[in-house]
Amino acid sequence: MKVKKYFRAKNLKEFNSLKKKFPNSKILAGGTYVSKEKNSNIDVIIDIQDLGLNYIKNGSDTIKIGSATTFSEIIDEKLNYCDEILTRVSMHCGPITVRNIATIGGNIMAGYYWNDTTPALLALDARLVFAGKDKKTVTMEKFIENRRNFFGLLLKEIIIPKKLTEGRLFYDRFSRTASDIPTSIFISIKTKKEVRIAIGAATIRPFLLKTKEITPDFFDKKLLPKINEIKLVNDLRGTKNFKLKILRSQFKSDGKSGTVVAKVAKL
Ligand SMILES: Cc1cc2nc3c(=O)[nH]c(=O)nc-3n(C[C@H](O)[C@H](O)[C@H](O)COP(=O)(O)OP(=O)(O)OC[C@H]3O[C@@H](n4cnc5c(N)ncnc54)[C@H](O)[C@@H]3O)c2cc1C
């Protein structure tokens, strides 16, 4: 990418008029991904650092996180919700030098299939708020299924509804080393209404599966068809077969006949 023009918008109004003038421009948050991008069609950058989008509002019903909040800021907040899942996930989003500048919004919008935030946000039933004239709020699930509809839009905020009863979460991230990009992520959360299972890194895109109950044949009858529908991905971190084995072991990682998810569901 050869940058010819760099703008640092002071407010949303300025951002919108810049976007209108340069529709093909690139949004820049922490820049850890943009700096490596090879798209030669983009020569205008709009920096969003001054838009005031780095905040965390930990309310009684929701957690609201501004899109330009860095992973270090999320970790420092010590969000005591849902087994500290947001802190635990943020710890994996690169080494500390990266976490100090990389933002949650940049991670979501970069959209790697292996990204650490997406499965957690799927499981947490997070909603994304986009700026613009027709302000859009969309579930994480719908966003992943229709990512193209959101290219170029400004992600403002991530909203997490606090509907999980404490202690009903299972999170397993398999990677070759602790600091490596994940090979497979498995998260399950039991809410009052359902069990939510989110999978990432092993498949072409992260996905969510909701179910009322976990039966002993759940993996083969429900989860495997969904994994096959989305499709496993071969990469340098593992073959499709290897990833499927990891997913099976993550599902059964309590080592008993009942699965971890089943155990969670009974709590
Ligand atoms: C060494 C290293 C190791 C890493 N390891 C991991 C890991 O293990 N797991 C993991 O999940 N990630 C990992 N990452 C990725 C890192 O977390 C992402 O690069 C980062 O989250 C992107 O955030 P950013 O603020 O730098 O985004 P930027 O580089 O600024 O932007 C990324 C993309 O999102 C767009 N964008 C940014 N903000 C917005 C917004 N508010 N609205 C709309 N579009 C926006 C940009 O236009 C661009 O396309 C690693 C990165 C590095 C460099």
Using pLDDT thresholds of 50, 70 and 90, give the confidence band for residue 36. confident
Determine the distance separating the centroid of ligand 1 and the alpha carbon of 193, expressed in angstroms.
Answer: 33
Give mean pLDDT, residues 114-126: 96
Give mean pLDDT, residues 218-234: 96
Please state the atom number of ligand 1 nearest to the C-alpha of residue 103.
25
Determine the distance separating the centroid of ligand 1 and the alpha carbon of 94, expressed in angstroms.
Answer: 10
Instruction: Answer yes or no: do 105 and 73 share one domain.
Output: yes
CATH code of the domain covering residue 42: 3.30.43.10
Angle at CA 61, nearest 5°, toward 60 and 62?
Answer: 105
Instruction: Answer yes or no: do 56 and 123 share one domain.
Output: yes
Q: Write out residues with Cβ below 6 Å of ligand 1.
A: 26-34, 48, 67, 92-95, 98, 102-103, 105-107, 109-110, 115-117, 154-155, 181
Using pLDDT thresholds of 50, 70 and 90, give the confidence band for residue 267. very low
Ligand 1, atom 32: closest residue by C-alpha: 106
Instruction: Answer yes or no: do 129 and 154 share one domain.
Output: yes
With 80 as the cut, is the pLDDT of residue 71 above it? yes
Range of the structural domain that residue 247 is part of: 169-266
Backbone phi and psi for residue 30, each to the nearest 5 degrees, phi listed first: -80, -25
Determine the distance separating the centroid of ligand 1 and the alpha carbon of 221, expressed in angstroms.
Answer: 35
Instruction: Answer yes or no: do 197 and 110 share one domain.
Output: no
Token code pair at residue 137:
């709020």
With 70 as the cut, is the pLDDT of residue 54 above it? yes
Using pLDDT thresholds of 50, 70 and 90, give the confidence band for residue 257. very low
Q: How many angstroms separate the CA atoms of 87 and 171, rounded?
A: 12
Give mean pLDDT, residues 238-255: 86
Determine the distance separating the centroid of ligand 1 and the alpha carbon of 112, expressed in angstroms.
Answer: 9
Q: Please name the residue that has the structure tokens 């700026």.
A: 131
Asked if residues 167 and 188 have their Cβ atoms less than 8 Å apart, the reply is: no
What is the DSSP-derived secondary structure letter of residue 176?
S
Mutate to test the pocket of ligand 1, among 16, 19, 25, 33 (most ligand atoms within 8 A of CB): 33
- What does the CA dihedral 30, 13, 17, 8 come to, rounded to 10 degrees? -30
HSE, side-chain direction, 13 A CA sphere, residue 206 = 32
Amino acid at site 126: A
CATH code of the domain covering residue 98: 3.30.465.10
| pTM of the full structure | 0.94
Ligand 1, atom 2: closest residue by C-alpha: 94
Nearest to 59 by CA among 156, 151, 162, 130: 162
CATH code of the domain covering residue 218: 3.30.390.50
Nearest to 122 by CA among 102, 144, 154, 91: 144
Number of domains observed in the structure of the chain: 3
Helix (H, G, I), strand (E, B) or coil at 182: coil
Mutate to test the pocket of ligand 1, among 15, 41, 93 (most ligand atoms within 8 A of CB): 93
Q: How many angstroms separate the CA atoms of 88 and 171, rounded?
A: 9
